[in-house]
Structure 1
Amino acid sequence: MLSAITEFFGNMFGTAKASEKMLDGITNGVDKLFYTAEEKAEDGAKARTEGFAVYMKWLESTSGSRVARRVIAFMVTGIWVFEHLMSVLFGAIGIFVDDPTKYIEASKMFAEHASSNNSLVGVVLLFYFGGPAAIDGVKGLVMKWTNKNPQQTAS
């Protein structure tokens, strides 16, 4: 049956080879309209493998900047920890003084600053310690940071 169709279109477009190419193009086009779960899984595995290879290549190419990454991670984390500790310290001092207002306000200020930096510190620590998990983790943190739902961007 296929040879009859090929022959018909071959006579119509000049050669049987031209009609075979046309039929191949049509069948490939129709096949690409349907994205099966198996194809999704294969593409996902391929993407993860390629992503990991890119990450490893990036680690190798930036090995000279390890000290800089470490310094940045400690600086950002140090500021964040300092803000939390100061918040706790001023809150505790506020309990024992006669006029606690300024200590409580300072405690709240430090707590707000530290809380506003949670996502930033998370991203820095994830890049420094995260390894391959950093790719997925950073996407989630950035989406949270920008107040977007990751499921909305995935579809």
Structure 2
Amino acid sequence: MEERNLVSWIAMLTAYSRNGHIREAKTLFLRMPGHNVDSWNAMLAALLHGGRSLDAIDLFFALPAMAIDPRDTSFSCVLAACSRVGDFSRARACFRSMTVDYALQPTRQHHCCVIDALGRAKYLAGARDLLESMPFVPDPLDWRCLGAIAII
């Protein structure tokens, strides 16, 4: 590929990460000529899916310093990362930041990530309360997820 535009770079980063080559994906990310929220989201997803949740959380918190406003996809990645490492404190802060700082409406996925983080942190009553109060009707999978975290 003679000339690479940002979409091409992101596609290559995604291909590296989906094949387990996180180090190469990160190197490619650092070499990209310019970044936007989509390239940052691709790197967040690469780290998350590569099992590097703490790195994904750190990268997310670096976004404001790069003058990048996170989108709902950015929050999906960081909330999933917080859930995986059981960091309810950061999950709660990010969840609030969505609406307060960025005027984004949390989706079902965002709610479920926070519910999972609550459960992993052993706040089962809080997880159930959030499940019952989210602005969506909980489906059977949501309830099954709550049941699964209750036995962890």
Same fold (TM over 0.5): no
Bigger CA radius of gyration: 1
Give the TM-score category using the shorter length.
under 0.3
TM-score (norm 1): 0.22
The structure whose residues are more often helix, as a share, is 1
